[in-house]
Structure 1
Amino acid sequence: MQTLDTINQTLTTHDAVMLYFSAPTCNVCHALKPKLVEAISTEFPIFEIESIDISETPEIASYFSVFAIPTVLIFFQGREFLRKSRHMSVGEVVEDIRRPYELMLS
């Protein structure tokens, strides 16, 4: 089971991390997640992707000030770069992170 410590360890050991916050009762979350995970994994292979069920670990959601689902947090080198909640498209998220990802790798 995920803990705040394991999430923070992921953030410190990986240069690019996506945290995906959802819950079992969120139909939008379940429709968006596979498409977003596939796009991120394909476009940006070094990303570490963590899915967080806020019903199981509300303390993690609280720590990151996540109060709506789905919420996506993108971190580069341990720092939050992007936060998207509720209404988002896969293409929008991909385009928002493309340039900083490429700059980080260059």
Structure 2
Amino acid sequence: MKEIESLAMLNALKASEKGLFILFGGQHCSVCQGIKPKLIALMEEQYPNMTLAYVDCHRDSATCAQNGVMSLPTLQVFFEGKCFIEVVRTFSLQGILDQIHRPYHLLF
């Protein structure tokens, strides 16, 4: 999982990666910290070619605000630079991974 440290770094990943899965969280968000290891394991198992990134919104609130993130956790999935999925607060990790299945297999 890549730790995003700036808006420029995140924008560069969006532009360069065929598949990008971003978790916007925070060090004081217990839900965020709870799903992070599960997300890493599921992505490595099911979608190893996608890039997984993490933005700590407590440390870099400007990057989160520029991406429309006002609530944690937020997940965004990009394929070829376009936002495919965005979910906020309440979601099923496996449900999101199921939605990624078809576009992932078309690209990779």
Smaller-chain TM-score range?
over 0.9
* Candidates 56, 59, 64, aligned match of 1:56: 59
Deviation at 1:103, TM superposition (A): 1.7
Unaligned runs of 5+ residues in structure 1 are: none
TM-superposition CA deviations, 1:59-79 (whole Å, max 9, x none): 111111011101000000011
Q: Secondary structure at the match of 1:50?
A: strand
**Runs of 4+ deviating beyond 4 Å:** none
Residue 98 of structure 1 corresponds to 101
For 2:68, give the aligned amino acid.
S
| TM-score (normalised: structure 2) | 0.91
Residue 87 of structure 2 corresponds to 84
Unaligned runs of 5+ residues in structure 2 are: none
Q: Does 1:26 align with 2:8?
A: no
CA-atom RMSD, angstroms?
A: 1.1
Provide the identity percentage. Answer: 25
| TM-score (normalised: structure 1) | 0.93
For 1:14, give the aligned amino acid.
E
